[in-house]
Copies of this chain bind each other. A is one copy, B any other.
Amino acid sequence: MNKKGLAILMRTRMRPNDARDFARSPLANLVNQTLPNSDGSQSSGRLVQGAPQQRNEKLNASSNNERDFEVVRESMHSAISLSKTEILDSVLNDFSEGYFSLSYENRRKLLELLAKEYDLNRTQVRDLIKQYLGLELPGGSDNAPSTGTEEEACLSAFYRIERNLRYALKPAYEVLFERLNTHPGGLKFLSILRADILSILAEENIVSLRALDSYLKEKLSTWLSPAALELHQITWHDPASLLEKIVAYEAVHPISNLIDLKRRLGLGRRCFGYLHPAIPGEPLIFIEVALMKNVAQTVQEVLWDDPPSPECEATSALFYSISSTQPGLQGINLRRFLIKRVITLVKREMTNISTFATLSPIPGYMQWLLSKLASQSKLSEGEDIQHSPADTSGSTFWENILEPEEERALMDASVEFTSGKNSMEVLFNLLTSPNHEWTSSDKLLSALKPSLMRLCARYLLQEKKRGKALDSVANFHLQNGAMVERINWMADRSEKGLNQSGGIMVNYVYRLGKIEDYARSYFSSGHIHTSSDLSRYVKPLEEPQVTTL
């Protein structure tokens, strides 16, 4: 291929979310939407990877549903009840292939069955605990203290029943999970299984299935403990099969074509992933880092074509994207370990890097602000009370969101655009206008900037829920020991950026040597460390934090 042809190929637009190449299961076909995960990160969609048998599923699914279901149910039963034997491998193969051939309805039926009928043997549990209650604690009576050997014998009985009780409290489906874990491809299958379970639970809260999920999640957390994971630097030298996954799952700033991909892995950048030996060639999560002289303030600075400065002159490592490739591993927090490992590694290998920062979205800001504006607007109308900013008595729910100067500037600038009963309704309308019109007027932008920035700082630094930062991404970094350094206006003008946070992005900074202290104070008292620049945005409160319910 000539140079021109190659250049064209490299720039051809890839459609990363069009992952039909990853044979999707019928379940994912129904549930393919991009929802933020509970920790604020994005996943590209509930992609469920099927086995090569996917090609046959159209043939099987419709005509042979009932027969397939019973067959699969049988193989699941065998997988659980079979005594320790060598044929387990083929039974597990049968089961997983059979599972992939089932329709959504049948998978749901099977999983509910698993949750209900392969649960605990409650009779056995009751028997054991009755025995246990019959035991006397050593040294518990007022008689003469028991001798060493008496005490040992007494303790023996406790240990024995406690151990048996631990076993009896393990649901039978644990056997299936354990066996799959040691089976080639089994861990991946479990991850897919859990993705299906989460989809089902998102539609209906089935108690027994939720209990099963809770158990499975614990098991997966154990198996995916960082001790078992390998950190791998992802580069252009990695297999295409691995890189394809990077493209498919890049959740924060989608990769547009091959040249973009090559850049993301090239000069001035690093890309690291966590792999598990049982799921080879597929990073469970990966992080993208840009090496720069300063801490980037906008997305555009990070997604450069050519690095702004040579690598050897870089003093900052900027984490600008963390993506997860396994919807079934939702809730299992691997990101934290990944960041920690990457910081350690970069610190060691690139001694010129002294600053570790992120350029992060603020996924909850707009949602919080709009809801506040809406409720305050209503209250304002309903109450019709003259409040001075100093008046904190009376209704505890009313608060002056905008400051007087902000209100004035807002009303002035918004005259041509929208109207409303009060400043809050006006702001609400502006922010929810289609196509984000407000961003196209310089006048509006400069009118809105002070308030939006101030309120964003407040949202990040002061809004809490049960002692933790309300914004999930903030909470994540703060738990890791980061501080909130700076917020950046119009840092992300994309649809998503404007929707989530009015285009504002935040830099969290991991200060070497302070990480442990900051994490500890955040954990114990919810204290959020911030730069002096940022703290000037927020009025100091009497109590250190405002807790919203």
Contact = CB atoms under 8 A, between A and B. Distances in A.
A226 interface: yes
B227 A223 contact: yes
Interface string A175-203: 00000011000110000000000000000
Contact of A516 (B83, B87, B169, B520): B87
A278 B122 contact: no
A86 B336 CA distance: 11
A515 B86 contact: yes
Q: Is the interface of A mostly helix, strand, loop or mixed?
A: helix
A38 to B, nearest CB: 18
A435 to B, nearest CB: 44
Interface string A130-143: 10110001000000
A167 to B, nearest CB: 10
Contacts of A181: 225, 227
Contact of A278 (B153, B222, B228): B228
A156 interface: yes
Given A83-B524, A122-B158, A163-B214, A228 B277 contact: yes
A278 B516 contact: no
Contacts of A519: 85-86
Interface in A81-129: 83-87, 90, 120, 122, 125-126, 129
B87 A155 contact: no
Interface string A208-247: 1011001000000011011111100000000000000000
Given A87-B516, A230-B277, A481-B86, A126 B120 contact: no
Given A516-B86, A520-B87, A278 B129 contact: no
B162 A169 contact: yes
Contacts of A120: 162
Nearest to A162: B169
A152 interface: yes
Interface in A402-427: none
A207 B223 CA distance: 30
Interface string A496-533: 00000000000000000001110110011000000000
**Number of contact residues on A: which range applies?**
35 or more
Scoring A153, A162, A169, A523 by chain B CB atoms within 10 A of each residue's CB, the highest score goes to A162
Nearest to A159: B211
Interface in A461-499: 481
Contacts of A84: 523
Given A165-B169, A207-B159, A133 B126 contact: yes
Contacts of A4: none
A166 interface: yes
Most chain B beta carbons < 10 A, residue from A85, A120, A208: A85
Nearest to A516: B86
A455 to B, nearest CB: 31
Contacts of A182: 225-227
Contacts of A169: 162, 165-166, 169
A309 to B, nearest CB: 32
Contacts of A228: 223, 228, 277-278
A162 B124 CA distance: 13
A174 to B, nearest CB: 11
A211 B163 contact: yes
Given A120-B162, A122-B158, A85 B516 contact: yes
Nearest to A205: B152
B208 A155 contact: yes
A169 B166 CA distance: 7
A110 B150 CA distance: 22
A227 B129 contact: no
Contacts of A153: 207
A495 B261 CA distance: 64
A321 B162 CA distance: 40
Nearest to A279: B227
A445 to B, nearest CB: 40
A159 B125 CA distance: 13
A208 B158 CA distance: 10
A162 to B, nearest CB: 6
Nearest to A84: B523
B277 A520 contact: no
A354 B211 CA distance: 48
A86 B523 CA distance: 10
Interface string A43-86: 00000000000000000000000000000000000000001111
7 contacts: A86-B516, A122-B137, A130-B133, A155-B211, A169-B169, A186-B227, A227-B278
Given A87-B516, A126-B132, A153-B207, 18 more contacts: A83-B523, A83-B524, A85-B520, A86-B515, A86-B516, A87-B520, A90-B516, A122-B158, A125-B132, A129-B132, A129-B133, A130-B133, A152-B206, A159-B211, A165-B169, A182-B226, A228-B228, A229-B277
Interface of A: 83-87, 90, 120, 122, 125-126, 129-130, 132-133, 137, 152-153, 155-156, 158-159, 162-163, 165-166, 169, 181-182, 186-187, 206-208, 210-211, 214, 222-223, 225-230, 277-278, 481, 515-517, 519-520, 523-524
